[in-house]
A and B are shown apart, each in its own frame.
Chain A
């Protein structure tokens, strides 16, 4: 049914939709990020065990959550792109991937920076860090596959297929890594137990999660706009946009 809608109007409309949504995401991101960081860094009480180093979780946990979340949304977009042949969804896959990769990189770096004072080593083969590392590989795979194709139409579809294959594998990888980790259990502190967290730490964490989600949404929209423009470069509506702006 979607196929029969006029393709230009669709890209045009999608572009407009991005434009309308973008300010909301920007406001949410800025407000929540400022509150979250100030609260987390300066006002939240120090942990009795980990002291002030635990403040890293205010960015580590949101980025870890969002790295998975971004991958799932990318895969959902990929399914939509392949099943309904919706070109805008294909563009969304490509728009999300770099953002997701960045968030995953943040999760890895902050994880390592947290691990050094806690475990005495920058890198420990802990289940979550290992999963994040593999997730980063999956993101980079999607990105490099997309950029390897010269024909961007084929590139979008290839990247979508890979994203779907990745998302089917992701739970298996996650499960196997968790299981592997318990098998080779070293003496490590159970990491970031967010369930038993005190409310004085829980709320700033929540604020930061919203801030990260807002950021991912915002940059995705920006990149989606770019992708739409890039693909629709030769259409009259892009020209009109330029003349107006």
Chain B
């Protein structure tokens, strides 16, 4: 029984399994989007439908809603694998765990982050965003939502073994989301003033690169603690 180690094979296997599971229970993909949509609907109802006010608040609304809807899926990210013992099998595989984790986080982003990016034009209509701001919103979500998945997965890894880990995870993760929130909303703000916002995007991109490199290590050590 020959073993051939290919990192790509592992990555795609892990990623594919999670996607397969998500598509089998479509609620997992649909629910965060619905949640996002409902949160966005609540804001005009709460603060009034005045178009100027809405488009001024839109970046904040969209991003806060994005933070919250990513949290929804995070709770499930490692939970099933933890309960059925797959996590132990992944740790005891001869592949490096950070790579496995990378696969799972990418799958999580495809399930929760990517749909948000794709749905942004719709939200832009609801919140009276102009085209410039729409492009900026799409770009920040494109760079920012994977960042949310990576940071959030650290919290998910730390709390997966706990009985009521869900709320605790939000408490751990939300403060770490603040820089993403600040730079993303400011990029959108800047774009509405027709100014150059490439600086903010560059910072988001840099944070994403750091997260891709370092978060999987933190996540896998968190998972090892949870499994022990």
Residues of A within 8 A of B (CB): 82, 134, 137-138, 140-141, 144-145, 148-149, 151, 153-154, 157-158, 161-162, 164-166, 168-169, 172-173, 175-177, 179-180, 183
State which of A137, A145, A164, A173 has its C-beta within 8 Å of the C-beta of B179. Answer: A173
Residues from chain B with Cβ under 8 Å of A82 in the complex: 221
Q: A172-B207, A180-B186 are in contact. Are A140 and B218 (CB under 8 A)?
A: no
Give the contacts of B77-134 with A (CB-CB under 8 A). none
Total A-B residue contacts, Cβ distance less than 8 Å = 69
When the two chains form their complex, are residues A158 and B225 in contact, meaning their CB atoms are under 8 A apart? yes
Chain B nearest CB from A159 CB (Å) reads: 9
Name which residue of chain A comes closest to B218, CB basis.
A165
When the two chains form their complex, are residues B171 and A140 in contact, meaning their CB atoms are under 8 A apart? yes
Chain A nearest CB from B97 CB (Å) reads: 14
In whole angstroms, what is the CA distance A177 to B226 when docked? 32
Q: A161-B225, A162-B158, A169-B176 are in contact. Are A176 and B182 (CB under 8 A)?
A: yes
When the two chains form their complex, are residues B178 and A176 in contact, meaning their CB atoms are under 8 A apart? yes
Residues from chain A with Cβ under 8 Å of B165 in the complex: 148
Q: Which 5 A-B residue pairings sit nearest by Cβ, starting from the closest?
A: A176-B179, A137-B175, A141-B172, A176-B182, A157-B225
| Chain A, interface SS category | helix
Q: A158-B158, A161-B225, A180-B186 are in contact. Are A169 and B171 (CB under 8 A)?
A: no
Name which residue of chain A comes closest to B183, CB basis.
A176
State which of A145, A164, A175 has its C-beta within 8 Å of the C-beta of B168. Answer: A145
Interface membership of B34, Cβ < 8 A: no
Residues from chain A with Cβ under 8 Å of B176 in the complex: 165-166, 169, 173
Chain A nearest CB from B170 CB (Å) reads: 10
In whole angstroms, what is the CA distance A164 to B178 when docked? 17
Name which residue of chain A comes closest to B165, CB basis.
A148
When the two chains form their complex, are residues B182 and A161 in contact, meaning their CB atoms are under 8 A apart? no
When the two chains form their complex, are residues B214 and A137 in contact, meaning their CB atoms are under 8 A apart? no
The size class of the interface chain B forms with chain A is 20 to 34
When the two chains form their complex, are residues A144 and B171 in contact, meaning their CB atoms are under 8 A apart? yes
Name which residue of chain B comes closest to A140, CB basis.
B171
| Chain B, interface SS category | helix
Name which residue of chain B comes closest to A159, CB basis.
B158
In whole angstroms, what is the CA distance A166 to B222 when docked? 14
Interface membership of B228, Cβ < 8 A: yes
Residues from chain B with Cβ under 8 Å of A177 in the complex: 178, 182
Chain B nearest CB from A233 CB (Å) reads: 21
Q: A141-B172, A148-B168 are in contact. Are A161 and B221 (CB under 8 A)?
A: yes
Residues from chain B with Cβ under 8 Å of A162 in the complex: 154, 158, 172
Interface string of B203-222 (1 = CB under 8 A from A): 00001000000100010011
In whole angstroms, what is the CA distance A144 to B158 when docked? 12
State which of A140, A148, A154, A183 has its C-beta within 8 Å of the C-beta of B225. Answer: A154
Q: A145-B159, A165-B176, A169-B176 are in contact. Are A158 and B182 (CB under 8 A)?
A: no
State which of A149, A158, A164, A183 has its C-beta within 8 Å of the C-beta of B186. Answer: A183
Interface membership of B162, Cβ < 8 A: yes
In whole angstroms, what is the CA distance A174 to B72 when docked? 27
Q: A148-B162, A176-B183, A180-B186 are in contact. Are A158 and B168 (CB under 8 A)?
A: no
State which of B175, B179, B225, B226 has its C-beta within 8 Å of the C-beta of A138. Answer: B175
Can you report 5 residue pairs joining A to B where beta carbons are below 8 Å apart? Answer: A141-B175, A148-B162, A149-B162, A157-B225, A165-B176
Residues from chain B with Cβ under 8 Å of A164 in the complex: 218
In whole angstroms, what is the CA distance A183 to B183 when docked? 11
When the two chains form their complex, are residues B214 and A168 in contact, meaning their CB atoms are under 8 A apart? yes
Residues from chain A with Cβ under 8 Å of B158 in the complex: 145, 158, 161-162
Residues from chain B with Cβ under 8 Å of A140 in the complex: 171
Residues from chain A with Cβ under 8 Å of B179 in the complex: 169, 172-173, 175-176
Chain B nearest CB from A243 CB (Å) reads: 35
